[in-house]
């Protein structure tokens, strides 16, 4: 098949017009590999196209890797999405490994460092995310003491949720830390030390409820109604009773 015209497009891509009217877009590496500038003909177009597809997969993967580090599985999924065949994907990943662009050990180290320093994620969530990225459990070793991180998270949550009762606050933080991937065993002691001035909160909520429902119930029924409301809100039963029945209204 004769090449009747060459046209340079982007930096390293040429557009070749063939004598049958078809047009091929090839990387300059492909043109050099098959000496197409010299011979001006293509003996086996399928072979040339396959070689060029391999370069296309390689350059696209490099561009994808330039944005951030990727795992082997991420590269594989990316190339599958780009509709490259299995052999090209395997050879592309192998080349990236050989040239040092794909390195599982380096990826793991960098990923763990970012997770620990840039997120609040705990060990279980970090491990789960790494498994989704294609790593086996025995490859993942999270050797880090999360104590200081947990304490900072709890301190911040306490400051941001100062309107919650002790019980409600502990439940809120407990669920938050579990969702972040922390095991109860490593944060329970910190939760036990949390103590909010529930009496002040109970008094405040009591006044609000009293004003809202004072015309709906008589005094005794009103106090019982408010007591139940406050207990359901998470306040301690004894502290609620002390606030309600230890003060005249």
Q: What is the 3-state secondary structure (H, E, C) of 76-142?
A: HHHHHHCCCCHHHHHHHHHHHHHCCCCCHHHHHHHHHHHHHHHCCCCHHHHHHHHHHCCCCHHHCCC
Query: In the structure encoding, which two tokens stand for residue 136, read together?
Result: 């086996």
Between 37-41, 93-97, 136-140, the lowest mean confidence (pLDDT) is in 37-41
Is the domain of 83 the same as that of 11? yes
Q: Which residue has the higher pLDDT, 11 or 52?
A: 52
CA distance linking residue 180 with residue 6, whole number of Å: 57
Is the domain of 108 the same as that of 93? no
Is the domain of 44 the same as that of 85? yes
Is the domain of 68 the same as that of 116? no
58-91: pLDDT as tens digits: 999 999 999 999 999 999 999 999 999 999 999 9
> Can you tell me the mean pLDDT for 39-56?
93
The CA-based angle 5-6-9, given to 5 degrees, is 140
Q: How confident is the model at residue 161 (pLDDT cuts 50, 70, 90)?
A: confident
> Can you tell me the mean pLDDT for 84-110?
96
- Look up the CATH number of the domain holding residue 65: 1.10.10.10
Q: Are 15 and 9 in contact (CB under 8 A)?
A: yes
- Give SS3 for 234: coil
CA distance linking residue 205 with residue 229, whole number of Å: 10
Is the domain of 151 the same as that of 173? yes
Q: Are 90 and 65 in contact (CB under 8 A)?
A: no
Asked if residue 232 has pLDDT above 90, the reply is no
Q: Which residue has the higher pLDDT, 198 or 37?
A: 37
Is the domain of 33 the same as that of 73? yes
Asked if residue 248 has pLDDT above 70, the reply is no
Q: What is residue 240's predicted lDDT score, i.e. its pLDDT?
A: 82
Q: What is residue 102's predicted lDDT score, i.e. its pLDDT?
A: 95
Is the domain of 20 the same as that of 69? yes
Average pLDDT, rounded, for the chain = 90
Is the domain of 159 the same as that of 124? no
Is the domain of 205 the same as that of 240? yes
Burial class (CB in 10 A: 0-12, 13-18, 19+), 233: middle
Q: How many domains does the chain have?
A: 4
Q: What is residue 150's predicted lDDT score, i.e. its pLDDT?
A: 95
Asked if residue 196 has pLDDT above 80, the reply is no
Is the domain of 81 the same as that of 167? no
Is the domain of 84 the same as that of 7? yes
Asked if residue 183 has pLDDT above 80, the reply is yes
Burial class (CB in 10 A: 0-12, 13-18, 19+), 30: buried
What one-character-per-residue DSSP string does 153-211 give? HHHHHHHHTTTS-HHHHHHHHHHHHHHHT--GGGTHHHHHT----HHHHHHHHHHHHHH
Domain span at residue 131? 104-139
Which residues does residue 41 pair with via DSSP β-bridges, in sequence order?
2
Is pTM, for the whole model, over 0.75?
Answer: yes
Is the domain of 77 the same as that of 158? no
CA distance linking residue 78 with residue 81, whole number of Å: 5
């Amino acid at each position: 098949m004769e090449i009747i015209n060459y046209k340079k497009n982007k930096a390293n891509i040429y557009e070749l017009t063939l004598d049958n009217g078809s047009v091929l877009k090839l990387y300059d590496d492909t043109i050099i590999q098959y000496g197409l500038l010299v011979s001006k003909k293509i003996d086996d177009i399928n072979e040339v196209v396959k070689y060029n597809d391999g370069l296309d997969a390689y350059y696209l993967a490099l561009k994808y890797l330039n944005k951030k580090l990727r795992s082997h599985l991420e590269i594989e999924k990316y190339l599958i999405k780009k509709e490259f065949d299995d052999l090209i994907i395997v050879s592309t990943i192998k080349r990236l490994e050989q040239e040092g662009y794909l390195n599982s050990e380096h990826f793991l180290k960098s990923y763990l460092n970012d997770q620990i320093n840039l997120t609040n994620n705990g060990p279980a969530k970090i491990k789960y995310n790494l498994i989704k990225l294609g790593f086996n459990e025995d490859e993942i070793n999270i050797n880090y003491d999360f104590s200081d991180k947990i304490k900072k998270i709890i301190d911040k949550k306490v400051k941001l949720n100062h309107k919650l009762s002790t019980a409600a606050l502990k439940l809120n933080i407990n669920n938050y830390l579990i969702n972040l991937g922390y095991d109860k065993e490593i944060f329970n002691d910190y939760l036990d030390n949390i103590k909010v001035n529930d009496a002040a909160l109970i008094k405040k909520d009591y006044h609000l409820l009293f004003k809202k429902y004072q015309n709906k119930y008589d005094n005794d029924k009103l106090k019982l109604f408010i007591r139940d409301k406050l207990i359901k809100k998470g306040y301690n039963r004894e502290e609620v009773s002390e606030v309600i029945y230890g003060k005249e209204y």
